[in-house]
């Protein structure tokens, strides 16, 4: 029998002991995780959440590895993350911008290289879906938003994610990133160097839909993040008809230009996965 397992991570604040006094408080990340758990449960997934202090580096990576061991060809793993995104200096030279993207988990950052390694644990024929409502732009300098862009953002937030009038972005500020990395330089350097050399082949098909482009910011709301709230509107409690690419395109159409989601596949190309009804456990097309 085909299995679907899911993990939903929501981090409303981080441990200041690791992040050099920064708590990075957000409002809607735990709500995002709970809503994605509900969506997954309605589709038949065996799901769980890791919320704020539960969402440690060890707990998250262990849960992903457990899923990799449990799933076989035809099965699907659905992973969602809502929280701050960051960047850290690239040591192994695989990033053109010399930065590795990170998820800011409660007690430390998880590098994109670590997630890449984790995908190697999944068997050929397993489908992996990743939704990331976070920024990967903590060190990107961008021009201030215009009055029109600000008004557009506030309108989208009010309509999809709830708003108290404040624009909160899900990225770790540059000064916090620098303090954190200076304080834990040896840990992150040794961590990166301990990972296997790339490139190597990922046998699973891993599909990522993220909340914004690398040079943009993802907005937090009061009831959901802007990306998650828009996804829920498009999904219509299961009323959506179409493929993953159709879902992505509809989300983009409803998002402001200053926050454009990204769509990426790594590992084996799986045309059936591409064409499937989103969040379907059954591996047959349009199930």
What pTM was estimated for this model as a whole?
0.93
pLDDT at residue number 286:
64
Per-residue pLDDT of 86-121, as tens digits, reads: 887 654 444 444 567 899 999 999 998 899 999 999
Distance CA 120, CA 202 (A): 5
How far is residue 164 from each of residues 23, 157, 158, 167, 184, measured CA to CA in Å? 20, 9, 8, 8, 35
CA–CA distance, 182 with 168 (Å, rounded to integer): 25
For residues 183 and 142, give the distance between their C-alpha atoms in angstroms, rounded to a whole number.
Answer: 27
Domains of the chain with CATH codes:
4-275 (3.40.50.1460)
Mean pLDDT confidence for 187-204: 83
Q: Which of 190 and 51 is assigned the larger pLDDT?
A: 51
pLDDT at 141: 34
Q: What angle do CA 16, 21, 26 make, to 5 degrees?
A: 60
Backbone φ and ψ for 69, nearest 5 degrees, come out as: -70, -30
Q: What is the pLDDT of residues 127-185, one digit of tens each?
A: 999 999 998 643 333 456 778 888 888 999 999 999 888 889 998 988 999 999 999 99
pLDDT digits 0-9 by tens, 13-59? 999 999 999 999 999 999 999 999 999 999 999 999 999 999 999 99
Contacting residues for 139 by C-beta, under 8 A, at least 6 apart: 87, 99, 174, 177
Please give the Cα distance from 168 to 160 (Å, whole number).
15
């Amino acid at each position: 029998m085909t299995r679907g397992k899911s993990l939903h991570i929501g981090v409303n604040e981080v441990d200041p002991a690791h992040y050099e006094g920064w708590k990075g408080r957000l409002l809607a990340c735990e709500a995002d995780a709970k809503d994605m758990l509900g969506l997954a449960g309605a589709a038949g997934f065996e799901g769980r959440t890791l919320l704020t202090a539960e969402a440690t580096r060890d707990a998250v990576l262990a849960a992903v590895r457990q899923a990799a061991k449990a799933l076989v060809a035809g099965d699907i793993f659905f992973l969602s993350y809502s929280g701050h995104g960051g960047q850290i200096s690239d040591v192994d030279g695989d990033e053109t911008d010399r930065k590795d993207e990170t998820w800011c988990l409660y007690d430390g950052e998880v590098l994109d290289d670590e997630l890449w390694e984790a995908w190697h644990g999944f068997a050929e024929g397993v489908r992996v879906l990743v939704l990331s409502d976070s920024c990967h732009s903590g060190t990107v300098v961008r021009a201030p938003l215009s009055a029109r862009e600000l008004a557009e953002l506030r309108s989208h937030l009010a309509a999809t994610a709830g708003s108290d009038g404040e624009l909160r972005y899900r990225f770790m500020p540059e000064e916090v990133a620098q303090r954190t990395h200076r304080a834990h330089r040896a840990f992150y350097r040794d961590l990166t160097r301990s990972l296997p050399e790339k490139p190597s082949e990922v046998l699973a098909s891993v599909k990522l839909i993220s909340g914004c482009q690398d040079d943009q910011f993802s907005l937090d709301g009061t009831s959901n993040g802007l990306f998650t709230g828009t996804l829920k509107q498009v999904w219509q409690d299961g009323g959506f008809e179409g493929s993953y690419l159709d879902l992505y395109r509809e989300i983009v159409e409803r998002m402001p230009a200053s926050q454009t989601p990204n769509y990426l596949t790594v590992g084996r190309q799986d045309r059936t996965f591409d064409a499937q009804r989103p969040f379907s456990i059954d591996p047959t097309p349009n199930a």
